[in-house]
Amino acid sequence: MNYRQLGNTDIRVSEVSFGTWAIGGSWGTNNDAESLKALRYAIDRGVNFFDTADVYGDGHSEELLAEATRGLRDRVYIATKFCRQGDIHDPETYSKERVREYCEASLKRLERDFIDLYQIHCPPIDIIKEGSVFTVLDDIQKEGKIKHYGVSVETVEEGLLCLEHSNVKSLQVIFNVFRQKPLEELFDQAKQRGVGIIVRLPLASGLLTNKFSLDHQFEEDDHRSFNENGESFNVGETFAGLGFKKGVQLAQQLEWIAEGRGNMARASLRWILDQPEVTCVIPGFKNQQQVEENLQAIETPSFSQDELRKMNDFYHEHVKEHIRGAY
């Protein structure tokens, strides 16, 4: 396993880490025994960082992490998120009293004394601009309940605004072969300010595995069946903002990136890891096999400069115009 510094903090995290949305809920059928087996396997392989949120399975993914990491407080870092259990547009959701309640509830589920990285969970841009939530987090930090804090954002503009606050230590962004805009400005600005970059949805909700046919049907409780067009939350969180069929077609045109790299998933993760500003990538998983597959990206060959230019051209000429939603 390779490890990278999380911005200018004292935390070094595994470059391939994992997100736990899928084992919490809204990604179809789950099996807790399989989830725990996968978590423990990842830890045994050197993964030392997991991302979760209080709304993933209404706290269930936090509870699973508590069970899997019991006794490993000093070996495994956990990042969780808050605000989406309330009305994200209501300033009261970000008050000191409410944030403390969210934080203490997560601590209880995680069975920890403090949270390594506490993140605002995709707040509206007005909340970021108003800025008082950052003062609240400073206070919660002084109380010892959190070690560092960051923000999970939907857009480049939101990310740039967050960078104006000196105690923001990380940005979590949607970034993948289909969604390259953060490369244009955000990544460089974050690096200059010593802010870590955590990449979520690296495989565009599975599109970049290139395993779907145009007529694929997702389970009813899988968000990919009910949020394709942003019906429940930001459309960018599903298929990188591309419609499903368009995404499948585009993935088929990118099959060449798998040559010499095993498959498209490994190649897509490798492309992200080759970006020097990226701290870690956090693909999801449901079982040990998926964890193992994602970890293969560590040994996957990097792309040549010619290949990188080709992928950049493909994004600008064929993908960018089809991305919907805030970006």
Q: Please give the model's pTM, rounded to 2 decimal places.
A: 0.95
pLDDT in tens, 195-237: 999 999 999 999 999 999 899 998 888 889 898 888 888 898 8
Q: 115: number of CA atoms within 13 Å, CB side? A: 34
The residue whose two tokens read 């990491």 is: 69
> What is the average pLDDT score of the chain?
94
Residues annotated as part of the active site: 56
pLDDT in tens, 271-323: 999 999 999 999 999 899 999 999 999 999 999 999 999 999 999 999 999 99
